[in-house]
Each structure stands twice: as C-alpha cells, then as structure tokens.
C-alpha cells in the first residue's frame, strides 16, 4: 500500500517521479502528489484519485526541479482528498510518509501548545512534518533534525524529507515500512518498491529498520538511530521493464493468470529429483537432523497467502506425518503462541512486507522458533529476516488480486513437503509420483487456460449475481475459500465458502433458484460422498457452476455450466481446480465494469495494521 519515490540528481525530477508512481499504482491508493525543489522554493502538486489527475495538473502547472519526492496515498488518518494527500509541508520542510505515527495526537497537542503550530490536514504525517520543522529551527542539519524527530515517534514509517534551503539533499528513514536506495553515477533514487526504479538503475541498497539515508546527487550515506555509519552491500535488480508491462493484455490480472504455466516451470526448475522422488531446496539453510526433531509446522499468512497455507496444511500433513497449524498473521501477532525450537514457522507472503506477517515472523524468532519464508519479492523484509526460504520465482505480480503467486505458494509448500517428507515417512514411490505430477502441471494448467472463451461465456451468465456460494471438500475447501475471495475482491459480489460436508449444518438454508453455487466435484477419493451434496443442491434449485474432471459426462445432468480440468494427482488437483476460478472471477468483474487491477479500498501490500 502507498508508494514512495524520490530523486536527487542532475535532470528534471518530474518525469522520474510520475513514472515511478505509475509503476507503483498496483499497490493501491486514493490520491497522489509530488514536490519539486527549485530556486529555493518547493512546488507541491497533489490530486485526489488516479495518477492521471495528477499528471494533468502537472501539465498545466509545469513545475521543475532536480530534487523531488512523490507519493501515492491509501487513506488511514483522514478521508481521501487533496488536503490530506501527500506531500505535506511545514515551513521549509516537505515530506512524504508511509506508515502510522501512533502517538501523533500527543505530538500534535504539544506542537500546538508549545510552538503555536497550525495544521491543515487530518493526517498523522503533517504532525511529523511540523516536528521535523521545529527541530530544524535549532540550526541542526536536516539529517540531525529528522533523527531527533523520529526518536520521539512511536509507530512505523518510511519517510522522505526535503528542505528547500538545502535543495540538493533528500533524507530518508525507515522503520517497519519498505524503502530502498537506487544508485546511479550522478543521481540517487529512493522508492518503496523496486519497480519504481527499473529503467533508471539496477543497483540498489535495501534499508533496514531504524536507519537514515542522506542522499545527494550520485552519493548516499546510511546511519542508524545512534548516528553510527552503516554499510550495506549493493544488490542488483534482475527485473526487466517488460516484466511490469501488460504485454498486450487488457489487464495485468489476465496477464498474470495466463503466465502461470511459465511461473510453475520457473519455480520447479532445478528443484525436482525424479530418481530420488524428492526436491532440492538449497535456501532452507536447515540441518537435515532438524527434520527428524520437528514436531509441527506453523504456517502464517494473510488473505490469499493464508488460504495457500490452508491448502498446504492438507498436503504437508499427508507428506510428512507432522501436524500443521495455519494462522492469520493479524491474529497470531497478538496471541500467546505455544511454539518451541522443534516448530518450523513457515511465513507465506508475496510481497515480503505485509506488516502483520512481519510482526508474526519477529515474534516467532523472539521465541526461538526456526523460520522459513515462502517469498516472491527478492530483497524484501521477510526474505532478509527468515532463517531460510524458498523464492517463488513468480515474477512481478502487479494486479492487487493475487493469482500466480497463490499457485507458486502452494507449489513451494509441496516442494518443502517433498524434502522433509522423504526424510521422514514419504516413500520413494510416492515421492516419484508427486514429482511426475508436478512436472505435468504446466501443460495441464495451459489446457485449462485454453478454455478461457468457454469460461468467459459461463461467467457472463452470473455477472448480475448479488451473492455466490463456493463449496469444496477436503483440499478443495481452501480452493473454495480462495475462489470466493477472488470474486469478492474484484467484482464486489458478496461471496461465502464452506466445506461441502458442512452445507447441511446451516448454509443449505440459503440455497434457492437465485443463488449461484460454485461446486468442486472432480474425481477423487471423496467423489461419491461429495456427490450426495451435489444432489442436495440440485434438489433445492441452486444455480450450479461445477468444476469436474475431464470425461465426467454425468455432471451435465446437474448443470449446463461445467468446467473441466485434467485428471491429476491428488496433490496437484487443487491447483488445477483453482485456475478456472481465477478466470471466472476475472470475466465476471470485467462484465460488471469494475477496476480489475486496482479494486476499491484494497492495497497490494498492507504495510500498516
């Protein structure tokens, strides 16, 4: 959520700032603005709504400057409007900020009482701007004023600070919200997301918590909150510009759904061993003896990552013989968890920056639990802080609604399960069968994607639905949850998901001729038991969309709207069953005319509580 971009160099900053903000649109926002320093004056332009509105205003005003900062805001303190939009100013100071200043009310009261400060917005960020301004009045350097102010702050922040009296400098600071420094020969870039600097530089340094970066054209210095110099290794961004473009698709979401055969091949490449029926994951950084001493998995995630973990629970327990508990990160961080050195904490996250997930990771580490990250974004906070991990290799996921990352998260858990399972209870024969199933997966997913026109036609019939129910049993229950979440997120239709066997314990009361029901009924060990639930739905007139196995013609007795998936191994069948649900949600949303890639009120990476 929220995007930050900064530039100090030798060229006009405005195109860099606007371009960087456009690259971060996927993070979710409701207003945007930039500030440019030139001739001892700071020009601030900000607008409610999309970056297009800001770009139009900039075209009219034509501000210039070779030092500048920009921001896309997702409202927390104060409604989305131009006054509350960033950047915020106080005297000569201008700032942009991601995060939450928890003690802003106390600071604001003191600033009004002791310094006569007046406030225009409802934001916590303006309070920080005034606090830095007060500190700067003591003739401290800008970086010293920022440090002094932040020592009084409780909460999280990624902040960029300008002082128009020091026009060739940006001071940046981070605690609990991502921030990187991009390095070029005659310029420094600052951003909350690496996508914002692609095309300008591939050299970056990722700031750590409680660090300050002092940036001038082509130079930077990083200090900690004790003013001690810090050294960081530069890293190379391996993303290419084309990876964050639509490549001819109408939406990033459709592009990312269609990329999944390649995504699956990428996450599997070099990691499967058919002869031994296992996987090789060098990044786990775990002594093999630990696998024998393990007593449980504890999986942590939010939203789609949580549902990926829930699906992994069914698979990992069967592969390893170990219990698996799955927790919402937002709940886990405030509990008194029962963990020990024999628990493996598995952190599932696309961005690696979600605040609740990071807090849960740190709590696990504080309690001496070994941690393993399943992360998509290289260099993210989770990737740096876990004891070991598996990169998902899904590539940039720009659409807010996660699709290919979910698929990769499930596959990563299967790979972990193979490696641990083969050291415990999983036989070589069963391991080889799973490896073969994974190898077949890219072609099987492609066969489902090739049905997109049929799925589009089915989706059109349900675009006017007010409610949709999803039903699945065993490992298909988490698929039902994820399918319901996708439709809910991007079409704004109310959805619910239940285990099919629980239907008779309440949800059956909702079923009538008006209620569409997505029913997962592929051939598996529970096929006959699931069939009885299907009969119950038909008896009550529910409008059925059925996901079944190729060749099962009997399903046409229940509905004309049957989507077929290939016959597959029990561990890969749930992955296949989810693919048509991604397309179904996409086409329903397109029919309804919603903002598919940036659904209202949602953010890609939620870096505040």
- Which of the residues are catalytic? 2, 604
DSSP codes, 192-234? SSGGGGTTT-SEEEEPPTTEEEEEETTEEEEEETTS-EE----
Which residues, 6 or more positions from 205, have their beta carbon under 8 angstroms from its beta carbon?
180, 181, 183, 220, 222, 232, 233, 234, 235
> CB–CB of 471/542 below 8 Å?
no
Question: Exposed, middle or buried, 539 (CB in 10 Å: 0-12/13-18/19+)?
Answer: exposed
Separation of alpha carbons 544 and 533, rounded Å: 12
Strands (E), 65-210: 67-73, 88-90, 93-101, 155-163, 170-175, 180-183, 188-191, 203-206
DSSP codes, 483-523? HHHHHHHHH--EEEEEEGGGGGGTGGGG-STT-EEEEE--S
Pair of tokens at residue 29? 């926002």
Paired sense of beta strands 324-328 and 296-301, if any: parallel
Three-class SS of 307-351: HHHHHHHHHHHHHHCCCEEEEEHHHHCCCCCCCCCCEEEEEEECC
Pair of tokens at residue 339? 């963990």
DSSP codes, 357-410? HHHHHHHHHHTT-EEEEEESSTT-HHHHHSSEEEE-------SSS-SHHHHHHH
In three-state secondary structure terms, 146 is helix
């Amino acid at each position: 959520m929220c995007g930050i971009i900064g530039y100090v160099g030798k060229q006009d900053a405005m195109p860099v700032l606007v371009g960087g903000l456009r690259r971060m649109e996927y993070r979710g926002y409701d207003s945007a603005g930039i500030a440019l320093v030139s001739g001892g004056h700071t020009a601030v332009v900000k607008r409610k709504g999309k970056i297009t509105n800001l770009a139009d205003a900039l075209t009219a005003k034509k501000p210039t400057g070779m030092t500048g900062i920009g921001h896309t805001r997702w409202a927390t303190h104060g409604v989305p409007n131009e006054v509350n939009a960033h950047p915020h100013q106080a005297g000569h100071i201008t700032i942009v900020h991601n995060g939450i200043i928890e003690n802003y009310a106390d600071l604001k009261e003191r600033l009004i009482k002791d310094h006569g400060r007046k406030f225009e917005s409802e934001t916590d960020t303006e309070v920080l701007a005034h606090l830095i301004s007060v500190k700067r009045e003591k003739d401290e350097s800008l970086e010293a004023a920022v440090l002094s102010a932040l020592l009084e702050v409780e909460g999280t922040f990624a902040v960029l600070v300008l002082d128009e009296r020091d026009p060739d400098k940006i001071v940046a600071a981070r605690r609990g919200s991502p921030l990187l420094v991009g390095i070029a020969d005659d310029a420094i870039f600052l951003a909350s997301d690496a996508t914002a600097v692609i095309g300008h530089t591939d050299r970056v340094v990722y700031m750590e918590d409680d660090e300050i970066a002092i940036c001038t054209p082509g130079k930077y210095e990083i200090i900690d909150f004790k003013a001690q110099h810090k050294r960081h290794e530069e890293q190379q961004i391996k993303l290419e510009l084309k990876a964050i473009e639509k490549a001819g698709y109408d939406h990033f979401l459709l592009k990312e759904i269609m990329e999944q055969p390649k995504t699956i091949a990428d996450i599997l490449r070099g990691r499967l061993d058919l002869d031994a029926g296992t996987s090789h994951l060098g990044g786990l950084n775990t002594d093999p003896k630990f696998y024998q001493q393990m007593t449980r998995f504890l999986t942590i995630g939010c939203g789609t990552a949580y549902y990926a973990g829930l699906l992994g629970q069914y698979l990992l327990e069967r592969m390893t013989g170990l219990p698996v508990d799955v927790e919402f990160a937002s709940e886990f961080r405030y509990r008194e968890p029962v963990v020990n050195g024999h628990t493996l904490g598995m952190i599932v996250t696309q961005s690696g920056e979600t605040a609740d997930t990071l807090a849960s990771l740190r709590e696990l580490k504080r309690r001496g639990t070994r941690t393993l990250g399943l992360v998509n974004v290289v260099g993210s906070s989770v990737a740096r802080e876990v004891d070991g991990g598996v990169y998902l290799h899904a590539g940039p996921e720009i659409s807010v609604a996660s699709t290919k990352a979910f698929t990769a998260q499930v596959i990563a858990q299967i790979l972990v399960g193979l490696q641990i399972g083969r050291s415990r209870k999983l036989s070589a024969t069963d391991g080889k069968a799973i490896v073969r199933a994974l190898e077949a997966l890219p072609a099987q997913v492609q066969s489902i994607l090739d049905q997109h026109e049929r799925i589009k036609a089915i989706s059109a019939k349900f675009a006017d639905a007010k409610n949709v129910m999803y039903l699945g049993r065993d490992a298909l229950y988490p698929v039902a949850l994820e399918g319901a979440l996708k439709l809910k997120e991007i079409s704004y239709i109310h959805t619910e998901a239940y285990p099919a066997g629980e239907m008779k314990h309440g949800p059956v009361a909702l079923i009538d001729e008006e209620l569409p029901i997505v029913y997962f009924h592929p051939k598996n060990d529970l096929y006959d038991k699931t069939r009885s639930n299907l009969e119950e739905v038909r008896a009550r007139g529910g409008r059925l969309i059925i996901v079944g196995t190729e060749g099962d013609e009997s399903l046409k007795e229940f509905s004309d709207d049957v989507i077929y998936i290939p016959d597959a191994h029990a561990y890969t069948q749930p992955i296949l069953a989810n693919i048509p649900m991604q397309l179904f949600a996409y086409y329903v949303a397109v029919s309804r005319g919603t903002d598919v890639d940036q659904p209202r009120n949602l953010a890609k990476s939620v870096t505040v509580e």
